Structure 1
Amino acid sequence: MGLQWVILTYVVAAEAAVALILTLPSPKLLKEKLVSFVSLILQPALFIVPFVGFQLLDIYWKNEHRMMCTSEICTAAERDRYEKSIYKAQRNVILCASACLLYWCIYRICKYYKEIQSLEQVEKRYKEQ
């Protein structure tokens, strides 16, 4: 497994952990601090989108230029290697898609929480009047 796929795997695992932490019930003050911290990290973490795009292009290019091994000329080892490369490509596409999806989910969770905070402040102002 290449270094870029190891990095992407760790990023997806970290994103999943952050999404899980953000969705767990917690005290309001802790949730407020956590959401503000994650919101600060979201902008620099946007690098994942072009990185994933590049990886998807790499997968596509390798798929287009892969030696086809479907005829009877291929040996069993060559056929196994071909099938293994197909499975790895499929796994990597799923990894790329999950990285983008998790980033988007974290972004939307933070945005929804900020909207809820602003609506609570508006409600508080109306109650004071």
Structure 2
Amino acid sequence: MALQWMILTYVVAAEAAIAVLLTLPSPKFFKNRFTSLISLILQPALFIVPFSAFQLLDIYWKNEHRLMCTSEACTAAERDRYERSIYKAQRNVVLCVAACLLYWCIYRICKYQKEIESLEEVEKKYKAQ
């Protein structure tokens, strides 16, 4: 189970790094090449959205079927274990949402870069005429 969260953590870190690299100012040639490379990677990387959705469903199911430890019959160790599991679930929800949100941001950044590139080509055509 921890392997899934480790993979998701690495994917979110990679997405954050890519988003930062896409938004940094750089020469037009490098930015266009990098944007086209990332655009090619985006379609196979779409697996992260259903993967995150499945993980969110898993968290929801576990939350609904978790034993509640709020009465005085619980020991301190049981209460700590319950609170730790709640904190882990909250952290994992944030991780899943961040994965989907960063993917969408990268997709939009690449789309905007391509639109800007096509508008610049149209502008060159009109200037040439």
Give 2:78's aligned residue.
78
Shift of 1:75: 0.2
Is residue 2:11 matched to residue 1:11? yes
Shift of 1:97: 0.4
Structure 2 stretches of 5 or more lacking a match? none
Paired residue type of 1:79? R
Q: 3-state SS of the aligned residue for 2:71? A: coil
Paired residue type of 1:9? T
Cα distance in 1 for partners of 2:49, 2:123 equals 37
Task: Please list the CA deviations of residues 77-110 of structure 1 after superposition, one character each: whole Å capped at 9, or x if unmatched.
Answer: 0000000000000000000000000000000000
Give 2:20's aligned residue.
20
Is residue 2:117 matched to residue 1:126? no
TM-score (norm 2): 0.99
Cα distance in 2 for partners of 1:17, 1:45 equals 15
Give 2:98's aligned residue.
98
Q: Structure 1: which 4+ aligned runs deviate by more than 6 Å? A: none
Cα distance in 2 for partners of 1:51, 1:122 equals 40
Paired residue type of 1:123? E
Shift of 1:122: 0.7
Give 1:109's aligned residue.
109
**Aligned pairs, number:** 129
Give 1:34's aligned residue.
34
Structure 1 stretches of 5 or more lacking a match? none
Give 2:47's aligned residue.
47
Give 2:59's aligned residue.
59
Cα distance in 1 for partners of 2:11, 2:31 equals 22
Task: Please list the CA deviations of residues 11-68 of structure 1 after superposition, one character each: whole Å capped at 9, or x if unmatched.
Answer: 0000000000000011111111100000000000000000001000000000000000
Identical columns (%): 80
TM-score (norm 1): 0.99
